């Protein structure tokens, strides 16, 4: 065997790179390891490897230090297995118990995850290259990868068909629910609505402006509770004692009505005026589960105001309101990290909300919401076909825009029922009829945004690209059908790939959602301003009394301290979940032919 010198090998590699017959030579995405492709003429380009741990014509060669790091670091699949394997729980129990060891791991997770996200962002949907608008135009989502150039031979660059598969065909073949598939790790409906209520404070697409336009604040700002603008906030406020307006209905506190506040909400005409309640997000009257969370957070705000007023009788309404809002923000992040993300990860390692672990590390306290993160978070398969509230079954059309369900059964009974009902699995063949239109819009929007292929995003997040459709799906039948439509696994669309991807061991979904969504989540949560050294101290939250509320917040306390009488079951996992059931489901994973 003749060994070629490195320089000759590089030239041969360059010659073998696929270059489109016409259009942009960067359509083949030749640059590796986050190198930037820069055209130098109609058919030539260079790969900019500056500030990377790689060099070479295509940024293909790792530096010595990078080789050492790669050798020491386990693959994402291996690391995931080590973190979720039940037989290793004893090891993570030890790590969780030894505080210095735990803090080392927790700080490392914060930094390693957040460092994957470009801050400030490099791209947005209107340009395929860095520009000033990317940083300063906050009315659009940022982009993790630039859009596929318009002049490319195929929608995915140079791979796949010249026209992408018909969307309705994709929906019928791969995504429509034939029978309800339950979430494999026991997630419940209370979890489903928490995800929706929480994420819609920063996923706020302005559909009138297009799928890249947004009207939110690019972060965790609790605007889902207080409103997205000052006018809404003022209409929700009581302007006394720092509190929000509430009314008594059936002996319980609920938000005031739209008629009484003038808050703009999205209710159909058939909803009675007394049930059209005013909350922080205009469409949170859509489902009773969203109303439950809005109500409980508004009650919590007023409870916090009472505690702060007792500690600071000298404070006026404005200071009580603003400080209570900071406490609510801190409580939200703590519950999200320590319970919501903990449940999502299914790790044996205990995640903690500890901003001080970043104080001696290089970290940027700023965040932008990306279009890809928004698309990745379309988790509508979690929704069941029907809702069982206190033994009464509600079809989706009897649940949507029917807030009276909450008043009929009472908040405690609704929470208890949602905690006991299994959510759906986030996968293919599991979109219910009520969410098909949302799925259709998502697929249309990703094409309008010209999102790159799933494999390109996997490479961006340091994951190995799939080499075959069977490797992507973990089975043969659906893999064959996808191959007929997409021709090349490198042409599989981002959201399509996320849904058809095989599920990871003891996880809610596939490896790509975990490894792409995780860094976006960690960056978005820990980059919040209240986690910075000058904010993260007692005086920000009204002293030790407010700081302790943040540090001790839990989902159960949130509900139990704001519901009179016996506390309902409050959990993100159904009580009858059997851990062995998940292992058996994963080992005998459902394939397309079983559906």
SS3 state at 247:
strand
Is 270 labeled as catalytic in the residue annotation?
A: no
The DSSP line for 281-349 is STTTTSSHHHHHHHHHHHHHHHHHHHHHHHH-TT--HHHHHHHHHHHHHHHHHHHIIIIIIHHHHT-SS
Q: What angle do CA 243, 248, 252 make, to 5 degrees?
A: 95
| Residue of 58, 123, 340, 377 with catalytic role | 377
Separation of alpha carbons 44 and 120, rounded Å: 29
Our measurement of the distance from residue 199's CA atom to the centroid of its chain's CA atoms, rounded to an integer in Å, reads: 7
DSSP 8-state symbol, 180: -
Structure tokens at 48: 């900019």
Q: What is the largest CA-CA distance in the chain?
A: 86
Rounded to a whole number of angstroms, the distance between the first and last alpha carbons of the chain is 50
Separation of alpha carbons 261 and 257, rounded Å: 6
Burial of 179 (0-12, 13-18, 19+ CB in 10 A): exposed
| Distances 53 to 58, 90, 256 between C-alpha atoms, Å | 12, 36, 56
Separation of alpha carbons 290 and 22, rounded Å: 50
Closest Cα partner for 7 from 62, 61, 66?
61
SS3 state at 212:
coil
Say if strands 142-143 and 123-124 run parallel, antiparallel, or are unpaired. Answer: antiparallel
| Distances 1 to 4, 12, 268, 348 between C-alpha atoms, Å | 10, 17, 74, 49
Separation of alpha carbons 477 and 460, rounded Å: 29
DSSP 8-state symbol, 37: E
Is 377 labeled as catalytic in the residue annotation?
A: yes
- Other C-beta atoms closer than 10 Å to the C-beta of 79 total 12
| Residue of 80, 124, 197, 200 with catalytic role | 200
- Other C-beta atoms closer than 10 Å to the C-beta of 452 total 24
As beta bridge partners, residue 370 has: 142
Separation of alpha carbons 202 and 181, rounded Å: 29
Q: For residue 279, which phi and psi values (nearest 5 degrees)?
A: -130, -175
Q: For residue 515, which phi and psi values (nearest 5 degrees)?
A: -85, -20
Q: Would you name the residues annotated as active-site residues?
A: 200, 377
């Amino acid at each position: 065997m003749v060994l070629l010198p490195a320089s000759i090998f590089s030239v041969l590699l360059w010659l073998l790179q696929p270059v489109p017959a016409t259009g942009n030579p960067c359509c083949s995405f030749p640059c590796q390891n986050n190198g930037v492709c820069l055209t130098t003429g109609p058919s030539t380009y260079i790969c900019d490897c500056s500030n990377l741990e790689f060099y070479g014509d295509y940024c293909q060669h790792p530096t010595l230090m990078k080789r050492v790091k790669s050798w020491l670091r386990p693959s994402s699949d291996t690391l995931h297995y080590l973190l979720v394997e039940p037989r290793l729980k004893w090891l993570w129990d030890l790590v969780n118990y030894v505080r210095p060891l735990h803090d080392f791991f927790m700080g490392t997770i914060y930094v390693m995850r957040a460092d994957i996200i470009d801050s400030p962002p490099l791209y947005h949907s209107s340009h395929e290259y860095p520009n000033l608008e990317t940083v300063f135009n906050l009315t659009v989502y940022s982009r993790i990868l630039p859009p596929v150039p318009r002049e490319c031979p195929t929608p995915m660059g140079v791979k796949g068909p010249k026209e992408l598969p018909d969307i309705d065909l994709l929906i019928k073949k791969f995504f429509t629910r034939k029978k309800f598939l339950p979430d494999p790790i026991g997630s419940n409906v209370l979890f489903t609505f928490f995800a929706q209520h929480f994420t819609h404070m920063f996923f706020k697409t302005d559909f009138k402006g297009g799928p890249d336009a947004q009207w939110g604040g690019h972060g965790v700002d609790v605007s889902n509770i207080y409103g997205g603008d000052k006018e809404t906030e003022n209409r929700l406020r009581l302007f006394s004692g720092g509190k929000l307006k509430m009314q008594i209905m059936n002996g319980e506190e609920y938000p005031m009505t739209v008629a009484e506040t003038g808050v703009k909400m999205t209710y159909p005409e058939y909803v009675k005026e007394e049930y059209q309640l005013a909350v922080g997000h205009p469409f949170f009257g859509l489902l009773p589960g969203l109303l439950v969370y809005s109500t409980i957070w508004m009650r919590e705000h007023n409870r916090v105001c009472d505690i702060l007023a007792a500690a600071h009788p000298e404070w006026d309404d404005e200071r009580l309101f603003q400080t209570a809002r900071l406490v609510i923000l801190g409580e939200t992040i703590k519950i999200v990290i320590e319970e919501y993300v903990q449940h999502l990860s299914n790790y044996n390692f205990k995640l903690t909300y500890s901003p001080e672990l970043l104080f001696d590390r290089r970290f940027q306290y700023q965040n932008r919401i990306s279009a890809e993160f928004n698309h990745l978070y379309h988790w509508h398969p979690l929704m069941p076909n029907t809702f069982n509230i206190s033994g009464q079954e509600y079809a989706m059309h009897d649940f949507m825009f029917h807030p009276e369900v909450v008043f009929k059964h009472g908040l405690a009974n609704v929470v208890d029922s949602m905690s006991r009902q299994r959510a759906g699995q986030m996968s293919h063949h599991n979109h219910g009829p009520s969410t098909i239109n949302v799925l259709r819009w998502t697929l249309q929007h990703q094409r309008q945004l010209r999102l790159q292929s799933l494999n390109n995003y996997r490479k961006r997040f340091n994951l190995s690209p799939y080499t075959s459709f069977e490797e992507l799906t973990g089975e043969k039948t659906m893999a064959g059908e996808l191959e007929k439509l997409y021709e090349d696994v490198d042409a599989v669309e981002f959201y399509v790939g996320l849904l058809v991807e095989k599920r990871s061991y003891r996880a809610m979904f596939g490896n790509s959602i975990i490894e792409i969504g995780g860094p976006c989540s960690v960056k978005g949560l820990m980059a919040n301003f209240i986690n910075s050294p000058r904010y993260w101290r007692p005086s920000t939250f009204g002293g030790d009394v407010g700081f302790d509320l943040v540090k001790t917040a839990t989902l159960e306390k949130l509900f139990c301290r704001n519901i009179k009488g016996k506390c309902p079951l409050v959990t993100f996992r159904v009580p009858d979940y059997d851990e062995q059931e998940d292992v058996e489901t994963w080992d005998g994973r459902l394939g397309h032919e079983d559906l």
